């Protein structure tokens, strides 16, 4: 590893680092909180905006309570985000009243999931039982765009809950404590959501080359990242916006007893090590090799599960071939990654945007559902909106 800096890559975000590199592990008991005084009358409103993220080293397979079987690395997006708002007041009746709205409308299906989640994490926020809550959440991207919203929505909610704790109990004053708890709480809602709490490249899962890394929460990658990778662009090619046939939850479960499970863990470690070095050295060849290998390995694991399944569409394959040919022809830094679905994330440098936009327009759009392409890029992380 090269020298560590005090902040981390901000992709032009102009943020001071809000996270000091922790060298000691934090265990779940550090995240416990307390009740508030019953005589204290409370009311207020808190809102956070938090982005979706795209993994370059994929988390696939878990155990226990959302613990990853391998470490993963991602960056947060800019335009794909969730805004969540909590209105709170001292409870009026014996039982607290918690309601959830999606885009301003009551949504009983989402509400029951959110209420179950609040119950599951109540040990970390005991004061929730003393408050009436109205939670309202909305996404910047259409529900049908094929972009997973669990990372942005669970991280936005976790950040709101931590701000609530800071306002009522005052125990999360230090940014380090605040964001680490938010990441931990987001993870309990959806594993990959824990990485959305930070900006820049973010690692979740124990990895021996990063002493501060943890299975319990994500940490920002705190070494200097080469400028080539600090303003990375992501054009998301929407091949299909239909709901996928096999959920990530079911996919993770199929890694239990998977014949390639051990090999996958070894592969992810080697890829992580290569990618961390490439990010610092500006090694685009290695970046492309690792990132595409991770994407294809994720889908190969699905295809070799029992029962097997595939989330890729015929048009996904055509797009992947075209990207490879375009890279060979132009020799520019451009590659793809895939989430657990058929849509393609086309990654490249800001300096090549004009050329890549033409390529997308002329050669790839035709293979997208309704010619849909979502222009995104590395973002500046979550922000408090009120
Ligand atoms: O966080 P989950 O349980 O939705 O799983 C996400 C898994 C992948 O998106 C495929 C990979 C990742 O690391 O984000």
pLDDT digits (tens, 9 = 90+) for 195-233: 999 999 999 999 999 999 999 999 999 999 999 999 999
Q: Which fold has domain 228-377?
A: Alpha-Beta Plaits (3.30.70)
Cα separations in angstroms, 244 against 192, 196, 236, 339: 18, 22, 17, 11
pTM above 0.85, yes or no: yes
What is the CA(146)–ligand 1 centre distance, in A?
14
Contact 273 CB / ligand 1 (< 6 Å) = no
What is the CA(34)–ligand 1 centre distance, in A?
32
**Ligand 1 atom with the shortest distance to the CA of 249:** 3
Is the pLDDT at 6 greater than 50? The verdict is no
> Which residues belong to CATH 3.30.230.10 in the chain?
28-225
pLDDT digits (tens, 9 = 90+) for 299-325: 999 999 999 999 999 999 999 999 999
Nearest-CA residue for ligand 1 atom 10 is 340
Q: Domain 28-225's class? A: alpha beta
Mutational pocket test of ligand 1: of 60, 146, 246, the residue with most ligand atoms within 8 Å of the beta carbon: 60
Output the average pLDDT for the chain. Answer: 93
Q: Report the pLDDT averaged over residues 109-128.
A: 95
* Distance between CA atoms of residues 87 and 71, nearest Å: 36
Measured in degrees and rounded to the nearest 5, phi and psi for residue 185 equal -70, -40
Is the pLDDT at 251 greater than 50? The verdict is yes
DSSP 254: T
Cα separations in angstroms, 60 against 25, 63, 265, 294: 23, 11, 9, 10
What is the CA(151)–ligand 1 centre distance, in A?
9
Q: Give, rounded to a whole angstrom, the gap between the first and last alpha carbons of the chain.
A: 39
* Distance between CA atoms of residues 243 and 250, nearest Å: 14
> Which residues belong to CATH 3.30.70.890 in the chain?
228-377
């Amino acid at each position: 590893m090269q020298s560590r800096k005090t902040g981390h890559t901000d992709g032009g975000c102009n943020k001071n680092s809000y996270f000091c590199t922790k060298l000691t592990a934090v265990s779940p008991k550090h995240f416990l909180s307390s009740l508030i005084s019953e005589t204290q009358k409370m009311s207020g409103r808190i809102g956070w905006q938090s982005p979706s993220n795209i993994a370059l080293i994929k988390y696939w397979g878990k155990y226990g309570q959302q613990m990853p079987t391998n470490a993963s690395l991602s960056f947060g997006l800019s335009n794909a985000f969730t805004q969540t708002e909590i209105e709170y007041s001292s409870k009026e009746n014996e039982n607290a009243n918690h309601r959830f709205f999606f885009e301003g409308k009551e949504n009983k299906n989402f509400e029951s999931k959110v209420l179950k989640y609040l119950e599951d994490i109540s040990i970390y926020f005991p004061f929730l039982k003393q408050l009436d809550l109205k939670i309202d959440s909305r996404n910047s991207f259409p529900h049908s765009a094929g972009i997973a919203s669990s990372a942005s929505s669970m991280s936005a909610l976790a950040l709101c809950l931590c701000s609530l704790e800071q306002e009522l109990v005052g125990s999360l004053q230090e940014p380090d404590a605040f964001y680490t708890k938010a990441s931990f709480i987001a993870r309990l809602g959806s594993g990959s959501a824990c990485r959305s709490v930070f900006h820049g490249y973010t690692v979740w899962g124990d990895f021996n080359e990063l002493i501060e890394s943890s299975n319990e929460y994500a940490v920002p990658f705190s070494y200097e990242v080469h400028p080539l990778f600090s303003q990375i662009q992501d054009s998301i090619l929407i091949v299909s916006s239909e709901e996928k046939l096999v959920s990530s939850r079911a996919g993770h479960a199929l890694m239990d007893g998977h014949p390639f499970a051990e090999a996958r863990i070894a592969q992810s470690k080697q890829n992580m090590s290569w990618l961390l070095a490439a990010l610092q050295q500006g090694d685009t060849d290695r970046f492309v090799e690792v990132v595409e290998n991770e994407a294809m390995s994720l889908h190969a694991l699905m295809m070799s599960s029992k029962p097997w399944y595939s989330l890729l569409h015929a048009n996904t394959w055509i797009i992947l071939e075209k990207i490879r040919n375009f890279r060979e022809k132009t020799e520019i830094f451009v590659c793809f990654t895939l989430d657990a679905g058929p849509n393609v994330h086309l990654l490249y440098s800001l300096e090549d945007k004009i050329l890549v936009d033409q390529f997308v327009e002329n050669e790839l759009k035709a293979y997208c559902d309704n010619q849909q392409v979502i222009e995104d890029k590395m973002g500046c992380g979550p922000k408090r909106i009120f």
